[in-house]
Chains A and B, each alone.
Chain A
Amino acid sequence: MTKNSIADIFAQTEDTRLATPGMNRATIICLVIIVLGLGCGVASFIFGHENVYNYTRDVPWGMLISTYAFWAITSTGLCIYAAISHLFGGTRMAIVSNRMVWMSIICILGAFATIGVEIASPHRMIIYNILSPNPTSNIWWMGTLYGMAVGCMIVEFFGIVTGLARIAVILGTIGAVAEVLANSCLGGVFATLPARPYWYGGQLPIYFLTAAFLSGAAATVLFNHLAYKIRGTEMSEAVKDGVKSAGKAMALVLVLYTVATFWRLIMYFVGGAELGRIAADALISGPLSINFWVLEVAIGLVLPLLLIMLSRLRNIGMMALAGFLILIGQFVARYDLVAAGLLVPGTLGWDNVPTYFDYVPSFAEFAVVLGSVAVVAFGFLMGERLFGKTFDQKEHH
């Protein structure tokens, strides 16, 4: 492809209204946070994984795994809604679906950035995932499917900006199927470990998919609201309708997710494995209880539900706030899920082990999380700047 044609494409897609000093400043700030934040993660390859992250033999995973799961799940949600809109046309969300495809790509890149510095030897992963694949491993399937999904979505997005609608629809569909399967395998990573009763069981992959529908809808409302906020313009009626549809989906799945969370926790207290009950207790009244009751339930579920009701599905600003709070709640929910499964010692009763292991994320772990947030923010700003016109569709193509 010649330089000229790339310039032609950008000339058609870029939104020059956003070429402002303020936007440039915000973009540079994001870049600086990415470099500093992910730099702390990259430092783990130099100074040793064990010296930078607070992982131990007893608690081998932590906030980076949960952050990875959070971004991956959000990406799946965005991708599913976009694919549904593209495939079945007609849905009101179709008008904002291009932005959702872009943000789905960006969110999965945020996830990859996190997991890339979490894994001790990612270079070996690139080699042996191909040379020595293990078909029974959920991790292998998850990595492969997410990799495939992002590849499909990038080509899909290329199809969108160049007007190759057929390619966009076909690859969008394959990408969405890959994302759903990958999400399911991500749930399976935890759900298939009998050693961790808090994770073990068939409900978890469905729970992750529900979380994807919730996070995806919340992200759709939030990112669209922000996209018009940074431009200082009003949404067109059609875009408003699209965002309201996403708001409806958000409200519906919020209820479903709350029901699933309720039953998921109740199950541990009616019987079953002791370690599962102790882990659930960590959320109800133990070391994760503030996370759970305040951040997951109050801020992540109840308050958004109230805001959505108050907004009457009309006030987009209020719904965007609800979406933001849902995403906060979902982030903490992923952390609590990972932590609760690992904090409970499998050797309880021996060696005077405490009921709960002590795990507090290290500075580098917080920095990487911040870096991943900056990756998504940077991607959002760049997307609006470079492809703004593509996102702002007048009608569904």
Chain B
Amino acid sequence: MNVEELEKEKNEGVNSIPSTERRNFLKMGLAVTGVFLGGTVLSLTSVKTARGGNADSVIPAEGQYPYTKHYGMVMRQNNCIDCEKCLDACRETNHVPLEHDAWRTNIQERLTTVDGVEKREFRPILCNHCNRPPCVRVCPTKATYKDPETGIVVMDYKKCIGCKTCMAACPYNARYFSHDKYAIDKCNFCLDTRLAAGEKDTACAAACPADVRIFGDIKDTSTRIYKLLHEPDKKIWVIRPECGALPNVFYMNA
């Protein structure tokens, strides 16, 4: 310790921390921040989970399917005429009770004006079987989960405690409280009622007379859904993309 040097320093008393100490502390803080910042910048250059070249695309990139099959649905929205055959087929196949709040799939409508002409627009909706499903994350008992084979979001009714957090979390209003099951119920792409029996289509898609609902394995390049999703020059969109749930129900006009 250089006493002569120290004697020249201003006496800062014992009641406060000396300014050199403060400076040292600040330097340490900056160093730590720097290391973290540097680390972040470096890791940005080697992201392993990048999802394909087109960052704006709502379509899952090739090679990003963690499931054996990866089921999804394309809605050719402007073909929908609101005949509700899909709703009836769903109710019948999946025993959805005929109550106001109870539905697995629905058709929404609104009036829009195109070139000065008022037009009625229909939009079929159902569970989006998201790749990052908010409902699955929030369920306390894993009563709802992604089926590892198909990527379908399914329910294990006996585990559902009825906290309704999945209902609050779902951006698509796809869930309802089933009085019969005394648990939350939702669309499961007819996994138990049709796919398990070897059928290739969901009840709603099979019932649609206007060729609106195209169901299939997005992973299989020979399927119609794959071809529709990869048609160049077609605008494809999803509902509420800002929620970041990465839905597997896609919308386009025929």
Contacts and interface: CB of A to CB of B under 8 A. Distances in A.
Interface in A121-179: 121-122, 124-125, 128-129, 132-134, 136-140, 143
B234 interface: no
A157 B230 CA distance: 65
A141 to B, nearest CB: 9
A50 B162 CA distance: 11
Contact of B179 (A48, A121, A134): A48
B240 A195 contact: yes
B110 A195 contact: no
Interface in B158-173: 158-165, 167-173
A120 B178 CA distance: 11
Interface residues of B, number: 40
Interface in B92-148: 101-102, 108-110, 123, 134, 137-143
A350 interface: yes
B101 A60 contact: no
Interface string A183-198: 0000001001111100
Nearest to A51: B179
B164 to A, nearest CB: 4
Q: Would you list the 8 A-B pairs with minimal beta carbon distance, nearest first?
A: A120-B162, A128-B141, A140-B140, A195-B171, A60-B167, A350-B108, A125-B161, A60-B164
Nearest to A118: B163
A196 B160 CA distance: 22
Interface in A291-343: 341-342
Which of A48, A57, A133, A194 has its CB near the most chain B CB atoms (within 10 A)?
A57
B146 to A, nearest CB: 12
A74 to B, nearest CB: 21
A133 to B, nearest CB: 7
B123 A350 contact: yes
A192 B243 CA distance: 11
Contacts of A125: 140-141, 161, 163
A143 B179 CA distance: 25
A79 B102 CA distance: 43
13 contacts: A49-B182, A57-B167, A57-B176, A120-B164, A125-B141, A129-B140, A133-B142, A134-B140, A137-B139, A138-B138, A193-B138, A194-B244, A195-B168
A341 B169 CA distance: 11
Given A57-B176, A346-B171, A134 B162 contact: no
Contacts of A134: 137, 139-142
Contacts of B231: none
Nearest to B112: A349
A58 interface: yes
B80 to A, nearest CB: 13
B110 A342 contact: no
Contacts of B140: 125, 128-129, 133-134, 137, 139-140, 143
Contact of A58 (B159, B173, B182): B173
A55 B179 CA distance: 13
B168 A342 contact: yes
B245 interface: yes
Contacts of B171: 194-195, 346
A133 B244 CA distance: 24
Given A121-B183, A189-B165, A193-B138, 6 more contacts: A55-B177, A120-B161, A132-B141, A138-B138, A342-B168, A347-B173
Interface residues of A, number: 41
A273 B243 CA distance: 10
A61 B164 contact: yes
B242 interface: yes
B161 A119 contact: yes
B165 A132 contact: no
Interface string B210-248: 000000000000000000000000000000101111000
A351 interface: yes
A55 B177 CA distance: 10
A56 interface: yes
B109 A351 contact: yes
Nearest to B109: A351
Contacts of A61: 164, 168
Which of B110, B160, B162, B163 has its CB near the most chain A CB atoms (within 10 A)?
B163
Contacts of B160: 120-121, 124
Which of A128, A136, A351, A352 has its CB near the most chain B CB atoms (within 10 A)?
A128
B168 A121 contact: no
Contacts of A352: 110
A118 to B, nearest CB: 8
A341 B165 CA distance: 13
B240 A346 contact: yes
A57 B164 CA distance: 9
B240 to A, nearest CB: 7
A388 B60 CA distance: 65
B51 to A, nearest CB: 18
B161 A194 contact: no
A60 B110 contact: no
Contacts of A342: 168
